[in-house]
Amino acid sequence: MANLMEDDVFRTFTTYAAIVIVKMMLMGPMTAYYRFTRGSFSNEEDVARKSAEERKKMLRTHPDVERVRRCHQNDLENIVPFVVVGLLYALTGPELSAALLHFRIFAGSRIFHTIAYICPLPQPSRALSWLTGMGVTLSMAYKILSTVLLL
């Protein structure tokens, strides 16, 4: 493992993987923030100490909470594959400049995707940021497959 951390591409991958994973993890506290500020809870035990009338008002969905939850779900669907594919990609020995381009574009696209989703920015901003991140992951997958299939 120590030898891997001496490899510039692998170190770069771990940096950007950590950035997008932390970004994804912050969506949980953001969901909680929106739940509390919008008074929107989904579980009976979350409002157990409230009166029956207050519980009825608070056990509901709110568009802002659902927006954050969908953004978090989208992160799970895109960041997890990026981490797996990115790890395999880093192990194929790509040029550092190509790897940096892939990792930076993906991280930037996911950060922008979150901003476009939460704010919300008009389409096609969110769709383009999602498509960009997906394109990066597919590009790395292509490099992996073309390297493996040539062996």
- For residue 37, give the H/E element and its range: helix 27-38
Domain ranges of the chain: 4-150
- In 3D space, the residue among 85, 87, 108 whose CA is nearest the CA of residue 9 turns out to be 87
Q: Which fold has domain 4-150?
A: Four Helix Bundle (Hemerythrin (Met), subunit A) (1.20.120)
**Average pLDDT of the residues in 61-73:** 94
Band of pLDDT at residue 5, cut at 50, 70 and 90: confident
Q: Identify the pLDDT of residue 108.
A: 98
Rounded Cα–Cα distance for residues 107 and 13 (Å): 11
pLDDT, residue 37, reads 93
Q: What pTM, to 2 d.p., does this model score?
A: 0.90
State percent of the chain over pLDDT 90. 75
Beta pairing partners, 41: 59
d(CA 21, CA 11): 15
